[in-house]
């Protein structure tokens, strides 16, 4: 089955700096890669996603890149703000018409310091 690795496990940046979180996946059939933000005591919130026919996608301060050959994808947050502090999870999905389950990475605790 699919295995998703995520690094780093913790990341501390100064407000205004950029943050980068990286994930690798194992199943070449995976073709959809969402990123979720989880604040304390809440459910995962979808913040951006990318499909395998695209190499990069941007939404304001957030961008995601995908390298299908190397089987890795990354989340980039620019101009970080204190409210960006949360746990971020990457995930991978093979949309095969079956269960469409998401396989999650182990999470990155991002702390944005003033």
Partner 1 sequence: EPEVTQTPSHQVTQMGQEVILRCVPISNHLYFYWYRQILGQKVEFLVSFYNNEISEKSEIFDDQFSVERPDGSNFTLKIRSTKLEDSAMYFCASSDDEQYFGPGTRLTVT
Binding site for partner 1 (CB under 8 A): 34, 36, 42-46, 49, 89, 91, 98-107
Least separation, in Å, of the C-beta of 50 and partner 1?
A: 11
Q: Is the CB of 20 or the CB of 87 nearer to partner 1?
A: 87
SS3 of residue 84 by DSSP: helix
We find the least distance from the C-beta atom of residue 101 to partner 1, in angstroms, to be: 4
What token pair was written down for 101?
Answer: 């389950």
- Enclosing H/E stretch for 75: strand 72-77
Kindly state the smallest distance separating residue 27's Cβ from partner 1, in Å.
14
- Give the angle subtended at the CA of 13 by the CAs of 47 and 20, to the nearest 5°: 45
């Amino acid at each position: 089955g699919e295995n998703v690795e995520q690094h780093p496990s913790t990341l501390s940046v100064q407000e205004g700096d950029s943050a980068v979180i990286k994930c690798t996946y194992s199943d070449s059939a995976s073709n959809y890669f969402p990123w979720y933000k989880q604040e304390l005591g809440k459910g995962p919130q979808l913040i951006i996603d990318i499909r395998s026919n695209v190499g990069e996608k941007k939404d304001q301060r957030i961008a995601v890149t995908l390298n299908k050959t190397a089987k890795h994808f990354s989340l980039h947050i620019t101009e970080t703000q204190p409210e960006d502090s949360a746990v971020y999870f990457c995930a991978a999905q093979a949309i095969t018409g079956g269960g469409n389950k998401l396989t999650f990475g182990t999470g990155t605790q991002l702390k944005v310091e003033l």
